[in-house]
Chains A and B, each alone.
Chain A
Amino acid sequence: MISLIINGLEVSVEEGTTLLEAAKFLGFPIPTLCYMEGLSPYGACRLCVVEIGEGPKAKLVSSCTYPAEQGLRVRTASSRVVNARKMVLELLLATCPQSKVIQDLAAAHDVRQQRFKQEDEDCILCGLCTRMCEEQMMAKAIGFRGRGENRDLGTPFDVRSEECRLCGGCMYVCPACQLRCTYNEPERAVCGGCANLSPPCVEKDQFDDMMCYMDPCVACEQETE
């Protein structure tokens, strides 16, 4: 067992526990976006930053990937952490302003607007869908491609992959979910999951029309009829 101090409270956890799990155990809220129980932590969104260490050596780390260390002092809501988180949210908002998930997170952290050039991307490269596809669905049908500003997600050669079972898991976990948008071009569709899975706007009350990117939004239209 490893004991560490989170926000002044001492806690003992098993070796290999991440700071995020330890903080959750104590009940300290840490916002996450690319983290999901059952999937390997990835540390892509940086929303879960916490401050560790003391004095000038204190630094920000992503709590979802940082393993607990003996005697480590962790602060989950210091002003530095809060500022960093707000900045991350602003940047995410600039990348993907229409995402309801990001909008909700931003609102919850008092970020009302962002100061950057709006990109209107349909993906924040959080990697949730690839991990879902690989680790839970055992398919490995989609993955990262390219690098730098050309990095994107999809199937090899942009064609329907034989590994894909149309499970729709990738859309289900996607915080910026626009993957289903490609349904208009069946050949390029990642999985065509929208054809057999109702989109989140049907199931969850908090999603409004803004969430739906299908053109036309097939499933919802069927629902309203």
Chain B
Amino acid sequence: MNTQAIRAIYIYEMKRFFRTLLQSFISPVISTSLYFVVFGAAIGSRIDTVEGVSYGTFIVPGLIMLSVMTQATSNASFAIYFPKFIGTIYELLSAPVNFLEITIGYVGAAATKALFIGTVILATAALFVDLHIEHPLAMVAFLVMTCVSFALLGFIIGIWARNFEQLQLIPLLIITPLVFLGGSFYSVTMLPPIWQAITHFNPVLYLISGFRWSFFGMADVPIGLSLMAIALFTGLCVGAIWLIFRTGWRIRQ
């Protein structure tokens, strides 16, 4: 294992993040505050409670998930797309590293950034609503697993993308809708039966549900199912990346 390479990639990527720290810090704070003003104060004041939790509090896990998923995806996709775009990927291809080391370096850094943003949102949310976390350890675990799995997905998107448009396409057309429709801002039980059934095909539902369970101790789907879903998703992504590096798909000429 070339641990020096993992370290070098990780540090290099994190430096990029720290260069724009202010921006990375301020934008989630502002967007979270906006969500709380709109959903929490304006709309939420007309909704009693969801599953016995005030609406403002109820949306906290979904809100964190929304940002973490999109941030992990975009960070990781950009991190690997950019070297491909400007040509510095030659160095990665000629270095004594294997796919696992490259992936750990890039995905690790992207997941760390998303985790940082998730934590900032959680802290901001605590300023607006009363937060009581039922299962703190499970909460951290779910957060970390989501950061990692979506960074893996982003990494694949970054390799797949041939231009900046494609880089934005998947997050915009697939991830955002899946997150919104996965119960970020509502409980699935609030949907008509037919939509409830359809929603169960949305993989994001299992992640959000599990994360919400760690906050309030209640969920749309059993917690075991959530864990299985996230493990399956992570496994699929790692498998896809292994295959990509083995075949050199969209990396080598």
A and B held together in a complex: no
Q: Which residues of B contact A (CB under 8 A)?
A: none
Give residues in A with beta carbon < 8 Å to B. Answer: none
